[in-house]
Amino acid sequence: MPNPRTVIIGGGFAGLSCAKALGGAPTDVTLIDQRNYHLFQPLLYQAATALLSPSEIAWPIRTLLRRYKNIQTLLGTVVGVDRAARVVHLEGRQSVPFDYLVVATGARHAYFGHDDWEAFAPGLKNLDDATDIRRKILLAFEQAEFEPDPAKRAALLTFVIIGGGPTGVELAGMIAELTRRTLPGEFRAFSPQSARVILVEANARILTTFTEPLSDFAVRSLADMGVEVLAGKAVTHIDAKGVVVGDEPIEAATVLWAAGVQASPAALWLHAASDRAGRVIVGPDLSIEAGIWVIGDTAAAQSEGKPVPGLAPAAKQQGKYVAAEIRRRLRGDAKPSAPFRYRNQGNLATVSRKAAIAEFPHLRLKGWIAWWLWGIAHIFFLIGARNRLAVALNWLWAHATGGRGARLITRHDEHGRSDQDDLRPSHRRH
């Protein structure tokens, strides 16, 4: 008899950990992803701000699963699932049948009903976003070197980040360091230190998933680097000129979105119940019916009565849990499933190259000690010795000199426009 077929959609933290835990199991596994790489999202902001190269934080999924002979990797975009016929539909390819299905398609940006803002305020979710943002930031400085009008130059040198969660804080801190440590001395028409970096948060404080003393520490550290934190203020409008915060317009050439996420459309494919963020509501064993599980950022899961957070460790734990469930079924074990339990491994965020905050169930840390802990944890979780070494060296280099190794303005668009096009007046925003 042929082995049962397991299909995993998504090679992110959840899907990859599930696939690896099924390596060698008596099931033919197919992992489908729309990208050919697994991305370490926690360091994406460093690729967006030219500290790391994209290739240092992403790996081909095919390579990561090479050693597991029972796993096939397919590059394809899932557009639907037929639960009754047990098949997954791909865009422009043949459908893939399954006996067990694991949906792990993550989340994307949400603009709270203002989808038109996306064109002016890109979000950070994948490598294309990171290289686009890097290009946008670096080009603003290049354009400012040409700009004779002081008001227009000031707008080019104003960076607004919307959303005071870890990603917004990390982006603001990194851009401030770029302006204060990396770029000084390289421009003649202006001083990079004159750039404004503004972090806007609608809640009364930033980093609401951390306790108040740690969030206050982050505000002080950001202020030390020259970041203006506007907490308790909502953005009401975004266009090519900049943003309106409350009723105050701020002219800014670079506006970045780190404010909201929406789950992938898995709930629509599966015709399953979802919460307000579009996440599929799953049972205590992370399934929606026998043999179909939804995990990671695309699931609204509970553990001991509390929502499971949208974090990488939670996604990995769910992937391993479901793999164990599938292995149990393959063994013919008919016992009811024990519910999924999330083990809190702590919450970390960096503010600058020497300050971070860390919160564990019985311990809180801030400052350089938290930064070292954050750094060691991230190096540890990166895949492969080469990348660990490259990232550690980049960090040490940046720490010692302020220099950044990936300050390249590149484009990946198919129209063949050159970087010069963005410097021509018709492409300028003002």
Ligand X SMILES: Cc1cc2nc3c(=O)[nH]c(=O)nc-3n(C[C@H](O)[C@H](O)[C@H](O)COP(=O)(O)OP(=O)(O)OC[C@H]3O[C@@H](n4cnc5c(N)ncnc54)[C@H](O)[C@@H]3O)c2cc1C
Q: Which residues are catalytic?
A: 170
Asked if 311 interacts with ligand X (CB under 6 A), we say yes
**Selected binder of ligand X within 164, 168, 242, 310 (CB under 6 A):** 310
Asked if 167 interacts with ligand X (CB under 6 A), we say yes
CB of 336 to ligand X, least distance (A): 26
Does an H or E element contain 261, and which? strand 261-263
* Residue closer to ligand X, measured from CB, 317 or 394: 317
Number of residues binding to ligand X, judged by CB under 6 A: 33
DSSP string, 166-185: HHHHHHHHHHHHIIIIISTT
* Residue closer to ligand X, measured from CB, 337 or 345: 345
CB of 394 to ligand X, least distance (A): 17
Asked if 173 interacts with ligand X (CB under 6 A), we say no
CB of 311 to ligand X, least distance (A): 3
Query: Measured between alpha carbons, how far is 296 from 380 in angstroms, rounded to an integer?
Result: 21
Asked if 34 interacts with ligand X (CB under 6 A), we say yes
Query: Measured between alpha carbons, how far is 390 from 379 in angstroms, rounded to an integer?
Result: 10
Query: Measured between alpha carbons, how far is 321 from 281 in angstroms, rounded to an integer?
Result: 17
Asked if 80 interacts with ligand X (CB under 6 A), we say no
What does the block give as tokens for 274? Answer: 């979802």
**Selected binder of ligand X within 21, 29, 47, 78 (CB under 6 A):** 78
**Selected binder of ligand X within 104, 225, 288, 326 (CB under 6 A):** 104
Contact segment (CB under 6 A) with ligand X among 3-11, 95-103, 323-331, 352-360 equals 3-11
Does an H or E element contain 302, and which? strand 302-303
What does the block give as tokens for 346? Answer: 């702590």
Asked if 35 interacts with ligand X (CB under 6 A), we say yes
Give Cα 3 distance to the centre of its chain. Answer: 35
Asked if 77 interacts with ligand X (CB under 6 A), we say yes
CB 180 within 8 Å of CB 225? yes
Which residues ranging from 205 to 264 are in contact with ligand X (CB under 6 A)? 264
Query: Measured between alpha carbons, how far is 353 from 293 in angstroms, rounded to an integer?
Result: 39
Query: Measured between alpha carbons, how far is 346 from 300 in angstroms, rounded to an integer?
Result: 20
What does the block give as tokens for 362? Answer: 């019985």
Strand bridging mode 248-251 / 242-245: antiparallel
Residues that bind ligand X (CB under 6 A): 9-15, 32-35, 41-42, 44-45, 77-78, 104-106, 124-125, 166-167, 264, 296-298, 310-313, 315
